[in-house]
A and B are shown apart, each in its own frame.
Chain A
Amino acid sequence: MIEYKNPCYNENGTIDVEINHPDFGWIPFTADPDDVEPHGRQMFADLKDEAAPYVAEEPTDGSLD
């Protein structure tokens, strides 16, 4: 399996992860169970149990003290 780090669910229910691509080096990747590419579906299956849960960003009120 390709080298990866920081798998984490996103708000869409897919998994964002960094992968060490053989041609492009470390790049962001979204692993999706419905990907048209088999490697994307496989990556989701491999990471679904270890990916960190999704944490929504705290809303900001736009005011600064």
Chain B
Amino acid sequence: MADWTNIQNANIEPGAPALSSVAFAFRDNPVAIAEGAAGAPRVQNAAIANSAVTTLKLETAERMTTANVASNTAGLGRGAVGSYAFLALVSGGSSGGDTKAGSGLSYASATSEGGVSSTGSPSGTWRNMGNTLSTGSATVFLRIS
């Protein structure tokens, strides 16, 4: 790996002696930038053309593949952002698409008698992914925050 060398103005001003060390820096600094050497300037986002970075340039685990999305989704715990839950409305009403604070909801289950039982409120913010609800009824919610 090439080292980054700061080239002093005094070494490149008119009349300055031609030093071998400066010549090495001219040769090695572009390599140091490309390799990300300590002290070297980093390539900024603006220097990369739009759509220039393709999937194959990413680590395998970071690619937006079906397998990775499915695996990461399966890795979500209960109550995590991005997870779904069957939740009952504690009070008030909720239309499909509404957002609700977790305290207004309760983890629910459908009973064998055809009703809904629920206990324990989730954290965060949830979006109603089902239909209009009244107090005590339940549907599927998605945690969005």
Q: Is B34 an interface residue (CB 8 A)?
A: no
Question: What size tier do the contact residues of chain A reach?
Answer: 10 to 19
A30 and B99 in contact (CB under 8 A), knowing A24-B144, A36-B78? no
Interface of A with B (CB < 8 Å)?
10-12, 14, 16, 19, 21, 24, 27-32, 34-37, 40
* Docked pose: A21 CA to B127 CA in angstroms: 14
Which stretch of B1-9, B13-21, B116-124, B129-137 is in the interface? B116-124
Q: In whole Å, how far is B39's beta carbon from the nearest beta carbon of chain A?
A: 33
Asked if B79 lies at the interface with its beta carbon under 8 angstroms from chain A, I say yes
How long is the Cα–Cα vector from A12 to B101 in the complex, in angstroms?
Answer: 12
Please, how many angstroms separate the alpha-carbon atoms of A32 and B105 in the complex?
14
Q: List A contacts of B124 (CB < 8 A).
A: 29-30, 32, 35, 37, 40
In the complex, residue of chain B having the shortest beta-carbon distance to the beta carbon of A41:
B123
**How distant is the Cα of A8 from the Cα of B74 in the complex, in angstroms?**
34
Partner of B101 from A24, A30, A35 at Cβ < 8 Å: A30
Give complex CA distance A40, B124 in Å.
7
Is B123 in contact with A14, judged by CB distance below 8 angstroms?
A: yes
Besides A21-B145, A27-B99, A27-B145, 20 other CB < 8 A contacts? A11-B103, A14-B102, A14-B103, A14-B121, A14-B123, A16-B101, A16-B103, A21-B125, A24-B145, A28-B99, A28-B100, A28-B101, A29-B124, A29-B125, A29-B145, A30-B101, A34-B123, A36-B77, A36-B123, A37-B80
Is B81 part of the contact surface with A, judged by Cβ < 8 Å? Answer: yes
Question: Given A29-B125, A30-B121, A31-B123: A37 and B81 within 8 A (CB)?
Answer: yes
Residues from chain B with a CB closer than 8 A to the CB of A37 are 79-81, 123-124
Can you sample 28 A-B contacts with CB below 8 Å? A12-B103, A14-B102, A14-B103, A16-B101, A16-B103, A24-B125, A24-B144, A27-B145, A28-B104, A29-B101, A29-B102, A29-B125, A29-B145, A30-B121, A30-B123, A30-B125, A31-B123, A32-B102, A32-B123, A35-B79, A35-B123, A35-B124, A36-B78, A36-B80, A37-B80, A37-B123, A40-B123, A40-B124
